[in-house]
Every structure is written in C-alpha cells, then in structure tokens.
C-alpha cells in the first residue's frame, strides 16, 4: 500500500426522494418529502424543491407542513431502497472489494491500490449509477474519509469534487468548522462565540485547549481541523458496529417525542442492516446514545442477537432519563461479533 490513500465517498442525492421521483413522474415537479408515518414523525428525505422551503431531513412533519403547506408527503418504501442499495453496493464492488457502506445511500471506497486514477473511477461510478439506476449521485475524492465525505457534498447534487493531497492544507484552512464530522449546530455556535468560524482559526487552539472545551472529542478535533483522518475503509466483513445518528434541529424534551424519534431512526437502521445480510447474521447487541443540550452524552447497550424496536425503546428511555436536559442527538446502533460466522465465510469471495 502506498502512503497516500485514495478514498472515494459516493453519496446518492436525496436518495429516497429520488427513488420516489424516478418511480412516479407525478412527484417530479413538486416539493416532496419522504417520511414520518405520524405528525410526530420526522422528514427522512426531502427533494431539492422542498429544500427551497426550508424542509430538510430530521425536521418534524408538522413543521415541514407549516413551512411548505403544499408539500407532498409519501411514506418510505424501505424494501425498495434496500434492494436498490444492495444492487448499487454490488456494482461498487466491481471497482474494489474495499467498499464500506455508511448507510443505504452512502459508501466509502478505498481505491489506493486499484491501479487507476481515483478521479476516473469516481466518474465511471457516477456514470454507471446514473445509467443503470436512473438516479443522481455525487462523489468526492480525497486522501481520507473525512475529506472525501466533505468533497462529495461540495458540488451536490449530481456533482463531483476532487481534492488532491497537495491542496488539502489550503482547502482545510478555509473550511467552515461546521463541515467537520462531529460539529453540529450547537458546537458551531459555541465556537462562534469564541470567534472561530474556519478550520484555520481552530488550528490556533492547542490540543489541551480543545480538550478543555470539548472533552474527549477535543483531541479528535485537533486532527480533524487539520484535515487528518486515519480511519481505514472497513468492508462489512470486518465491521464492528453499524449505527445511525440524528442531531435534532429543535431539542427533544418529552419522552413521547423521543420515542417517536427512536421509532423513525430504528426503521432506517433496520433497513440498513437488512441491506447487509453478512452483518445481520453477526448482531451481538444493540446500543443507544443520547447527547444532551449541554454536550454531555450517555450511552447504554444490551447484548443479544435481536434488534427489534422493543429492544431499543427501554434503553432510550433510560438514557434520556439520565439528565433533566432536552436531547440534541440520538443514536441507535448494532454491535457485531468480531469474527465472521462459518456461514459467512462461505460467502467471502475467493482470493
């Protein structure tokens, strides 16, 4: 392996909404949101037309309808998204076996040793997906996962952005801190109060200062704001966990609201898990994470091979009850057995 990695982040553009628009021409010209089965539910994905009205994912449905009264709301068809996602992942593996799915509509590829320019590969991937699935997709190319993910978002929708290693320092300097993984609206606010907007400004802080402000996340932030990220691309077979997190635009204060969010997030997480049969066979336990409005966070886990909603709800309730403060973020996840089961090994491609 060479020292400088070539990572591609492939991200479908408003995936669920795009699938609905593809399958029903009547939905193409209207503001569309896929989401919540109840008014307490949230928007899962909004198309670009709806985004113009301020409708976005994680927004409660009743607020979405206030912002855009003629919003067309369709229930999610996770079966369909999952099937498509499986096919898209299979296609991605034709470039490299090093494909790490991040969710149903996103994946990282490590093409360091693919023997061809990453830019060419990214272009091919986008063309093939557009052609074979009739769905828009964006891609980012960079030396690590952090930057590849930022890059795929840079020219969205239907775009591509390449960040060569030599341009990383300059790119990162001008980058708003909000773009960094782990910096949500609240952390952004907090940094702004210190006069920090860009990564260049954050780079002035010592590791110690960052830790004082952000706890353990601070030491990670020290690297992130320099564009440094050593996380490897992990194909499903060596994956240890799969999770889904959501930062709420408005803090969630009541247990009933939290439970509705748990149900929505669980539906998505389950769809994601079922899209990866090799992972489903290895479920070892579940976990729940709640971050409160003061940035403190707590998590709870239970072992066992089951992942139904009834496994997550009590954990979420218990975690939520640990602080009197409203919740800013909710995360649900599965942990996996470290070694593939014998059944799984049969499915591994031959070397």
Closest contact distance (angstroms) between CB of 104 and Mg ion is: 9
Work out the burial of residue 332: count CB atoms within 10 Å of its CB; fewer than 13 is exposed, 13-18 middle, 19 or more buried: buried
Closest contact distance (angstroms) between CB of 156 and Mg ion is: 8
Assess 272 for contact with Mg ion (CB under 5 A): no
* Residues in region 4-23 near Mg ion by CB under 5 A: 11-12
The residue among 279, 306, 343 whose CA lies nearest residue 104 is: 279
* Torsional sign, CA 86, 92, 97, 99: negative
Give the interface size with Mg ion as a residue count (CB under 5 A): 3
Q: Distance of CA 80 to CAs 86, 153, 275, Å?
A: 10, 24, 10
* Residues in region 90-119 near Mg ion by CB under 5 A: 105
* 49 versus 105: smaller Cβ distance to Mg ion: 105
Q: Distance of CA 140 to CAs 8, 103, 115, 134, 256, Å?
A: 6, 16, 18, 20, 39
Under DSSP, the state recorded for 198 is: B
Closest contact distance (angstroms) between CB of 312 and Mg ion is: 24
* 18 versus 172: smaller Cβ distance to Mg ion: 18
* Beta carbons within 8 Å of 307's beta carbon, 6+ residues apart: 269, 270, 273, 283, 286, 334
Q: How far is CA 73 from the centre of its chain?
A: 22
- Cite the active site residues: 106
* Beta carbons within 8 Å of 192's beta carbon, 6+ residues apart: none
CA-to-CA distance for 41 and 37, rounded, in angstroms?
6
Closest contact distance (angstroms) between CB of 136 and Mg ion is: 10
* 105 versus 259: smaller Cβ distance to Mg ion: 105
* 13 versus 110: smaller Cβ distance to Mg ion: 13
Closest contact distance (angstroms) between CB of 279 and Mg ion is: 20
* 20 versus 105: smaller Cβ distance to Mg ion: 105
Residues that bind Mg ion in the complex, under the rule CB under 5 A:
11-12, 105
């Amino acid at each position: 392996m060479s020292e400088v990695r070539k990572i591609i982040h492939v991200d479908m553009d408003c995936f669920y909404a795009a699938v609905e628009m593809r399958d029903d021409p009547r939905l193409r010209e209207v503001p569309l949101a896929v989401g919540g089965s109840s008014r307490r539910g949230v928007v899962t994905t909004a198309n670009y037309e709806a985004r113009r009205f301020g409708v976005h994912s994680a927004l409660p449905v009743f607020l979405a309808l206030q912002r855009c009264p003629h919003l067309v709301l369709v229930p999610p068809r996770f079966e369909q998204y999952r099937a498509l996602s499986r096919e898209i992942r299979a296609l991605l593996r034709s470039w490299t076996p090093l494909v790490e799915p991040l969710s149903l509509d996103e994946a990282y590829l490590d093409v360091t040793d693919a023997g061809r320019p990453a830019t060419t590969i990214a272009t091919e991937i986008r063309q093939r997906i557009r052609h074979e699935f009739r769905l828009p997709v964006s891609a980012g190319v960079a030396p690590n996962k952090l930057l590849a993910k930022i890059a795929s978002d840079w020219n969205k929708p239907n775009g591509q952005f390449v960040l060569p290693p030599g341009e990383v320092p300059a790119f990162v300097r001008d980058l708003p801190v909000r773009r960094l993984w782990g910096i949500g609206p609240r952390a952004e606010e907090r940094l702004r109060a210190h006069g920090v907007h860009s990564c260049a400004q954050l780079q002035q802080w010592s590791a110690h200062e960052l830790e004082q402000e952000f706890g353990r996340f601070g030491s990670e932030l020290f690297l992130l704001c320099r564009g440094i990220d050593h996380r490897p691309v992990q194909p499903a077979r060596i994956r240890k966990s799969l999770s889904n997190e959501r930062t709420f635009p408005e803090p969630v204060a009541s247990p009933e609201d939290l439970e509705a969010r748990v149900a929505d997030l669980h539906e998505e997480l389950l769809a994601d898990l079922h899209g990866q049969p090799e992972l489903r066979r290895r479920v070892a336990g579940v976990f729940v994470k709640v971050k409160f409005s003061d940035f403190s966070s707590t998590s709870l886990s239970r072992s066992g091979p089951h992942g139904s909603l009834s496994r997550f709800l009590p954990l979420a309730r218990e975690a939520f009850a640990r602080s009197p403060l409203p919740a800013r973020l909710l995360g649900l996840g599965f942990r996996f057995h470290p070694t593939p089961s014998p059944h799984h090994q049969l499915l591994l491609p031959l070397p």
